[in-house]
Amino acid sequence: MLYIKKPEQFSPKFEGVGCLFELNGKTLLLFRSPTGKFQPSKWCTPGGKCEQNETKEEAILREVSEETGLILSHTDLQFIQTTYVTYPDCDFIWHVFKVVLSSEPTITLNSEHVEWKWVNPREALDMDLIQDEQPCITLTFFPEEYQEEILEK
């Protein structure tokens, strides 16, 4: 479950980052390898865990580069929201970023992903996404529709 307010008894094991791209009204989704460890065969945005002593901005720049081959700078990043995620086996902090592109880049996937595509964010909400990706997309692309109370139940 994803929260925008830190829940009581929240005890994070790590921090992570995710990046939603926008290009001509579409967003980039990556398809996780069927043999992957974490939620295989699901769609997701580029992202991952922050390394020790790494800022959230450094982490997202590294993760985007590793997963897509794209080299971004700090000035490309738009910080959206820090969220708090609870899974049955762990809690973690998730920082959401957005990058707006003016032209379609060349995507080079790493072994974690086997496919990528640009999709309308509204259509993305109906895809087979990793857990808690849907509220991140809503928060980023449709903040006026974002219903905080749904995420806090």
The CATH code of the domain that includes 72 is 3.90.79.10
- Domain housing 120: 2-151
Give yes or no for residue 152 having a pLDDT over 80. no
Q: What is the pLDDT of residue 150?
A: 42
Q: What is the pLDDT of residues 33-91, one digit of tens each?
A: 999 888 999 999 999 999 999 999 999 999 999 999 999 999 999 999 999 999 999 99
Residue 86 β-bridge partners? 91
Task: With CA atoms as reference, report the closest residue to 80 among 55, 105, 99, 53.
Answer: 99
Q: With the CA atoms of 150, 139, 57 and 51 taken in that order, what torsion angle do they form, in degrees rounded to the nearest 10?
A: 30
Count of the separate structural domains present in the chain: 1
Q: What is the pLDDT of residues 93-150, one digit of tens each?
A: 999 999 999 999 999 999 999 999 999 999 999 999 999 999 999 999 998 776 554 4
Tally of helices (H runs) and strands (E runs) in the chain: 4, 8
